A and B are shown apart, each in its own frame.
Chain A
Amino acid sequence: DAKTTQPTSMDCAEGRAANLPCNHSTISGNEYVYWYRQIHSQGPQYIIHGLKNNETNEMASLIITEDRKSSTLILPHATLRDTAVYYCIVRPYSGGGADGLTFGKGTHLIIQP
């Protein structure tokens, strides 16, 4: 699977948009970009995923560059409850073999009051 690179930590003011970048320059054409987050002591929570097009759901928006080498997760109006570690993951379309997700170190997002 392609490797991802994320900043170690970021701060954002409450009520502002939080923009979390991810670099995945070795991504291949059949690999999806996934975002999860993990709040302390809880299981990873699925946020959003996409292949080529930008995606939006009730939690966030995902912007994927045209060359697919990077993406940005946008939390439109961050709240204190959005403080968590955010993971960007690249995942192939076809499973084949053990289909475990590979979580890197992620970005620790801290929402400031």
Chain B
Amino acid sequence: DAGITQSPRHKVTETGTPVTLRCHQTENHRYMYWYRQDPGHGLRLIHYSYGVKDTDKGEVSDGYSVSRSKTEDFLLTLESATSSQTSVYFCAISADRDGNQPQHFGDGTRLSIL
């Protein structure tokens, strides 16, 4: 299995508080992605990174920011969490972005905003 660690695995917090989720990889892959998964919506891309300090928005980026200061770490931050951001968050990595390179996923962070 790809070496991807997401932390924390579970978090409960209150509306309006900042939250940071971490994705750590040991594969030295260039590309990293953050998705959220909600019932009825499947997986949706939030942000992705194509290198250190290089990031871009995905389909549902409003309310989220990301940072990548090292190849192995990709952070997702909710500056002021809202109940609509209650979800399961998955990190993925890939060696390249062409269609012949699979994305590999971590085991997710279950986030509840009360």
Contact = CB atoms under 8 A, between A and B. Distances in A.
Q: From DSSP, what is the main secondary structure of chain A's interface residues?
A: loop
Contacts of A93: 98-100
B90 A46 contact: no
Which 5 residue pairs across A and B have the least CB separation, nearest first?
A100-B45, A95-B97, A43-B105, A93-B99, A103-B42
Nearest to B2: A46
A36 to B, nearest CB: 8
A103 B99 contact: no
A99 B31 contact: yes
Interface in A80-99: 91-95, 98-99
Nearest to B110: A41
Interface in B29-85: 31, 33, 35, 42-45, 48, 56-59
Given A43-B90, A92-B99, A93-B98, A98 B105 contact: no
Interface residues of B, number: 25
A98 B44 CA distance: 11
B102 interface: yes
Q: With a 10 A CB-CB cut-off, give which of B33, B48, B97, B99 has the most chain A CB atoms.
A: B99
Interface of B: 31, 33, 35, 42-45, 48, 56-59, 90, 92, 97-100, 102-108
Interface of A: 30-32, 34, 41-46, 49, 51, 91-95, 98-105
A40 to B, nearest CB: 11
A37 B81 CA distance: 30
Contacts of B90: 43-44
Given A32-B100, A46-B102, A93-B98, 8 more contacts: A31-B99, A34-B102, A43-B107, A45-B105, A46-B104, A95-B99, A100-B43, A103-B43
Contacts of B106: 43
A48 B31 CA distance: 19
Nearest to A1: B99
Contacts of A98: 45, 48, 56-59
